[in-house]
Amino acid sequence: MVQVIEDAICGEEGNSLAQPLWRTEQIRRLEQHWARHEGRECYDLMERAGAALCSYACHHWPESRHWWIFVGPGNNGGDGYVLARLARRVGLEPLVIAARAPELLKGDARRAADAWLAAGGCVIMAEEAELASLMPPDLVIDALLGTGVHISLSPAMTRIVATINALQAPVLAVDLPSGLNADTGRAMGALVRATRTLTFIGIKQGMLTADGVDGVGRLDCDSLGVTPPDGVIPAALRIDYPGLKALLTPRPRSAHKGSNGKVLVVGGNLGMQGAILLAGMACLRTGAGLVRLSQHPDLPPVSLAQPELMGWSGGVDDGWAQVRVLGPGLGRDEWARSRFEQLITTEGPLVLDADGLNWLAQGPRHQDNWVLTPHPGEAARLLGCAIAEIAADRFAAVRQLQRRYGGVVLLKGAGTLICDGHSIALCDEGNPGMASGGMGDLLSGIIAALLAQGWSASMATRLGAVIHGEAADCAAAEGERGMLASDLLPWIRRLVNPTQ
């Protein structure tokens, strides 16, 4: 049974993708467990996958008849051969284009290829085919490479991927787009850019982060009847706003500003006052009762721009605040250094962002009372490595950050990752319009406000991530280019009041 996966936007219910994410080795073990438990062959799953693909393609592209099915040397190609046989049976015209000759295949893939040939099908070799002379396809099926891609694609395979991407037809990826490392989300030299992907058994964690978000297109999942046995823990959990918004229950009628938390935001150095203003506004719009801003003394008070924000010229650790935010517009001068040193040792929840993280990188320490929110560049400085190393495996990077620094770590980027030392959550809400100044300041303010209202560090960070991403998706309805961080503020208020 295909489970349709579509993100709910702007608070509409839709279909939520709140479900486990898996590593490729876990998927293999689930397949093997199913075969033992059911007393069946794994080839039966290949037949089921082919049938699911045929039904799926006919549903989404009902007018298509000429299918080009690119098949590879492994089980992903075997799924493609089964699909071709079933498509031909229902009167369609599949053309099978192979990266490896059928007689060179092994195991279940060879069995599927033999069944296709026995049914009267034929195969043309990708390296020899003159595709330009053929009738163009209505639909392209990418069944080249599956979950076993861990090294860069060969030149021959890279050429086939380029051919697929150049065709003027929708592309359906089988299990995952060819060239994608299913565990890390990195493109291994070349990547098919699919219109839709039908993945099997479970969603692979790399499909929703890094390069995966560009290759997958619209994502759907068919379990093929395989269910994880009790006690099996997924590699990560995909979270979204529809799945978590039930936590945002109405306040008791007796609530007052003191019961909704006090937040102190420290930053706003010369030329960067906007950062602390955005963080403070996000705090207020997320529901913090009182917010103070500790900014550079030579600047006019931010309360001139937003009267509900209070200025604070005293020390940063007078015991007033329940939650502190350190970093938005903090800078790297002597004033910034002194503020960092005063605040870093205080007790109570602390959110570190921007230059707060850059100062921490200069003097690493491990604490459990903070939430760290680095982007890849800040993460690289915290780990003393290149940005490319962060991008190569974001899951490994967020785990390493949490082990080294403690607390809860949120690694920003396409497919935001949150690690609390026990589990990893992935939020893939949000859009490219967020690639502009001030978005991270909003996130810090949102998380701080949720901490101040009583959520744990782990849950406040998860809630903060989905509210932030969902607000950005709502704001992007008017266009991603030119979207400002402040455009999210009205949506943040709406999203933290889902039942009102």
**397 annotated to bind ligand:** no
Task: Name residue, tokens 């203003």.
Answer: 277
Give dist(CA 105, CA 112) in Å, integer.
10
Q: Is 227 annotated as a binding residue?
A: no
- Please tell me whether 441 is known to bind a ligand: yes
271 is in an annotated binding site: no
152 annotated to bind ligand: yes
Residue 321 labelled as part of a binding site: no
Contact 419, 427 (CB under 8 A): no
Count of alpha carbons within 13 angstroms of residue 250, beta-carbon side? 5
31-42 in b/e form (b: 16+ CB < 10 A) is: beebbeeeeeee
- Contact (CB, 8 A) for 468 and 443: yes
Confirm or deny that 79 is annotated as ligand binding: yes
Q: Which residues of 256-277 are buried (b: 16+ CB within 10 A; e: fewer)?
A: eeeebbbbbbbbbbeebbbbbb
141 is in an annotated binding site: no
Nearest residue to 305 via CA among 327, 330, 273: 273
Pairing of strands 66-71, 93-98: parallel
Query: Does residue 76 have a known ligand-binding role?
Result: yes
Q: Binding site annotation covers 318?
A: no
The torsion region of residue 319 among left (phi > 0), alpha (psi -120 to 50) and beta comes to left
Q: Is 407 within any annotated ligand binding site?
A: no
Q: Establish whether 33 is an annotated binding residue.
A: no
According to the annotation, is 421 in a ligand binding site?
no
413 is in an annotated binding site: yes
Question: Has 261 been labeled as part of a binding site?
Answer: no
Integer Cα distance of 371 and 404 in angstroms: 13
Taking alpha carbons only, the member of 57, 123, 131 closest to residue 90 is 57
Question: 50 labelled as ligand-binding?
Answer: no
Q: Is 444 annotated as a binding residue?
A: no
Whether 469 has a binding-site annotation, put simply, is: no
Find the angle CA(348)-CA(243)-CA(392) to the nearest 5 degrees.
75
Phi, psi of 185 (to 5 degrees): 85, 10
Place of tokens 């279909």: 15
Q: Is 140 annotated as a binding-site member?
A: no
Amino acid at 437: G
Alpha helices in 66-203 (DSSP H): 75-89, 107-118, 155-166
Q: What are the DSSP calls for 377-392, one per residue?
A: HHHHHHHTS-HHHHHH
State yes or no: 75 annotated in a binding site.
Answer: yes
Q: Is 15 annotated as a binding residue?
A: no
Binding site residue list for K(+)? 76, 142, 178
Binding site residue list? 75-79, 142, 146-152, 175, 178, 275, 329, 375, 412-416, 440-441
Binding site residue list for (6S)-NADPHX? 75-79, 146-152, 175, 275, 329, 375, 441
Binding site residue list for AMP? 412-416, 440
